[in-house]
Structures are given as C-alpha cells and as structure tokens.
A = this chain, B = another copy of it.
Amino acid sequence: MNREEALELIRTRRSTRAYSQKPVENELLEQILEAGRYAPSGGNSQTTHFIVIENREVLSKLAELAAQEFSKMEVTPGMYRSMANSINRSKAGGYVFHYNAPVLILTANQADYSNNIADCSCALENMMIMANALDLGTCWINQLKWLNENEIITEYLRELGLEENEKVYASLAVGYPQAELNRTPLMRTGNKVTRIL
C-alpha cells in the first residue's frame, strides 16, 4: 500500500458532530466493524464486545436515559470539561449525547481485565480510520463510559446484550456528515516528542 496514502488517511480523520439521517449502508458498517475486530488485544484475548445500535427508538431511549441520569449529577471543581458539559446540558433539557448519529457502536469489555480500556480504544481508532476511508464521519463518545457504573443505564444496556461483567469503555458515533466531511488535519501543537538518540 502507498505509504503517503496511509499517513494521509490517518492525518485526515476528524471528529464529526453533525450528522445526516441517511442510513449507513450495511456493507460499509460491516467493514468498519471488521476493522474494529482486527484491533490487537492484550494476550490476544479478543474480549471486546461490539454493540451496534441502528434502531432509532433504541437510540432515542438511550439518549433520554443518559440525559435523565446526567441531570441527577452535579458538576464538581476540576471535573473533566466534557463531562461537566454533559451534566449542564442535561439539566438544561434536550441533550442528545450521540449527536443524533444514525449509528452508535458501543465497545464493552470485561470489567476485571486490565487491558479493557486499551483494547476498546484500539478498536475505536481502527473504526475511525476505516470510516474515514469510507467517507463516513465518526466521533468518539465518552458519555456511556462515564455512566458505566449507573444502574439504570446498565440495566437498559443489559437488555441490549451487554453481558455480565462487561462495561462500556468507549463508543463511536458513525454516519454521513451533514455538510461535507471535514478532512483538514488539525494542527498538533501538543503531543510533544522527546528523542533519546
């Protein structure tokens, strides 16, 4: 494969936060899931569980429950900014955590497995890159991770197939962007590199 194209595919992955309601073709979604499943896992455990929600009623119900549960929480000093936003917007009403994307892919893993977050994260990165190759937009969603100790959310996710001992560690919104897909690489000013030669 062309090396420059590989780097470009990685560099041009951007977050999409406004989605068209056009459904994602099944063939493309299958390719995204295959990319996710081929992420590495600690000791080749392959315990990442992909729960793929395309049903609009389920997505709405999940968004409502999340807003309901966030609105019961309080913003505390030093809280992660996006989490504070989720709480504040839920209290204000009408908060939809997945940007109304037509597809939401939850990645769950064993709660007692030390590589759970790492494995789910690698799966998400692969899926984001593959979606970019397919002209689809994605956005990393942390909200269900923040609620992964919440009983009401957990109970609903169990109905959807979340297994005993599994928790959601990362989720991915997927869909066609409302406007043209933004592929302008965002400048890196952080992410320092120290070389020891």
Contact = CB atoms under 8 A, between A and B. Distances in A.
Contact of A82 (B5, B42, B80, B160): B42
Interface residues of A, number: 76
A179 interface: no
A170 B115 CA distance: 10
A13 to B, nearest CB: 7
Given A46-B190, A196-B55, A196-B58, A39 B125 contact: yes
B11 A40 contact: no
A140 B40 contact: yes
Copies in the complex: 2
Contacts of A54: 195-197
A108 B45 CA distance: 24
A7 B33 contact: no
Interface in A23-50: 31, 33-50
Contacts of A5: 1-2, 5
A56 to B, nearest CB: 10
30 contacts: A1-B8, A2-B5, A3-B134, A7-B31, A7-B133, A10-B35, A10-B38, A10-B129, A11-B34, A11-B38, A13-B40, A40-B128, A41-B191, A42-B82, A43-B81, A43-B82, A45-B190, A47-B190, A47-B191, A48-B191, A50-B193, A50-B194, A52-B194, A53-B196, A55-B197, A115-B142, A118-B121, A126-B129, A160-B196, A161-B196
Interface of A: 1-3, 5-11, 13, 15, 31, 33-55, 58, 80-83, 114-115, 117-126, 128-130, 133-134, 140, 142, 160-161, 169-170, 185-186, 188-197
